[in-house]
């Protein structure tokens, strides 16, 4: 994923005495924050259609819940 961006999302350090590690850059943090905000917005706006789909779904006893497969 990192190769798709002009600037790095993650900085890594090799192991050894300092045990290495990884940390998000500001761009990586912003990407995660924007993604989570967008996902939350989609979930909030999907409630009505998902409720309606559940109400018209056939044969729920089969265990094939279409709405759960979508979401």
pLDDT of 14 reads 87
Cα atoms found within 13 Å of the Cα of residue 30, Cβ hemisphere only: 7
pLDDT in tens, 23-63: 999 999 999 999 999 999 999 999 999 899 888 988 655 55
pLDDT of 54 reads 86
Read off the pTM: 0.65
pLDDT of 2 reads 82
With bands split at pLDDT 50, 70 and 90, how would you rate the model's confidence at 1? confident
pLDDT of 69 reads 65
């Amino acid at each position: 994923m990192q190769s798709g961006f002009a600037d790095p999302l993650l900085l890594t350090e090799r192991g050894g005495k300092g045990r290495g590690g990884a940390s998000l850059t500001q761009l990586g943090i912003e990407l995660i924050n924007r993604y989570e905000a967008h996902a939350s917005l989609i979930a909030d706006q999907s409630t009505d259609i998902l409720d309606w789909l559940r109400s018209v779904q056939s044969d729920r006893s089969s265990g094939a819940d279409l709405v759960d497969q979508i979401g």
